[in-house]
Structure 1
């Protein structure tokens, strides 16, 4: 369980042993954990780096475990800060990529083509899935149509059977769409990887890091796509994708609420989006949820802040360090 916080399973056993048997020396810990004394020393170094153990005042030369209520809460807080920084970098990268693709669209004519309509896009996706040999990456924001997922299944199945690595990012909101959840769990059962996040980049498909599809119109991907092969644009798309992947949560895992504020990842992102001036409809579109759901989230946040208006909630959220 603690591996999600960056703690190895072996170090987790040593930490638990220290909590349960604080008077144990290295040899006793090694015996309880089924490790060598060298491995215990390595684990203590790891725990010390994570600030989960400190030198004992009562037993010189020994270590004591920091209370989980303090040590693990501090780890969660550091990871939350880390995540917020990565999400900010992701937002900046998203803007850069959008601008870069728009600026280079005309120049791209010598390196690819515009695919108009979903039939042309599906045809190209089928071609890409047959020729991909190593890796297929995709970001799928918003609601997913069952027919689009069904059209993707044969190509994904063939690629996975050839040993191609498939990584897909959906929005958190799709966890509540049965047809998407079924398809995602099917991908996982076949060896694919699936993660979700409150907000993710525009729709992207990247094959073998040598070609990609991005929407001609980010607000309506069914108008068609731009087939990208230029190395400079591909590099920017890959950077954007990897940042999004690193801030997303594996399907099946749960994102703990912030221990300091009680905010979920979706609520924190909603506050950030509304703070930039977006309307409920626009923020909901970015998060893949309805404006009614946005209203329910904000009502809950206002209640926790004891605020009578959104304006007051914004002020209190800022004062409390929620933004």
Structure 2
């Protein structure tokens, strides 16, 4: 960014004062006394600067800072659009104008048979999109594949961002699977309530206590699902979920791994620099050695990439 640019970050939701603070820290001016506490707090919330151990501020690299700002703006816009879509009733209006087979969901039979995995995923996306108060889910297998996590993450995070209460029951097998536990703790860190059942679970998804999905064949969920809005049946499923919930255990706290000082420095560098070569050079470390540390840390954090590892480490207080 050019030093003389005036509020070049305004389009990303950054005020003049916040940008002046970021530029000052970029120029190695660690004295933040001239900036108001509110400005410092907001810059930390935006993620464009981080606290140092000495209490000062350290900037994210411009590339990382802009990525964080874009992510923040996209999330805000997405939430606004989703709220506008819900309040406007645009989906109901469009459905009402379609052919009889494409009528609004509320006009369909009380129990529908949804065939095929892709069709089920589409229905899940639809019913969770309109959830307003509560989302209840069980997973009788307990282990989530990489594909399942990839499909579920945007849906789950969308629900949590809207303030919908999420309660999820997992089979005990999740405790032995690192990627699954990493994802569950990610959700828990964002407000989801998650328990682990020592007993067999019945698979179900319930939204707002008014609509529920259960498998056609519990032994072969790929066949499809039954979608019901029958109040009596949904109420029975909610009662079953509550009994399973009461008989389950809280998600165990993550055990903090023993990190060496070098590994902590590597984590800090992942958060601040863009390239392994830069991080290795700053730590006076061979590139191959640096990458070995990065690989181990990514595995510990259940991260798919370096940027995700750095964010998860910061969320967990490792750096």
TM range (shorter): 0.3 to 0.5
Q: Normalised by the size of structure 2, how large is the TM-score? A: 0.44
Bigger RCO (CA 8 Å, 6+ sep): 1
User: Which TM-score applies when normalising by structure 1?
Assistant: 0.44
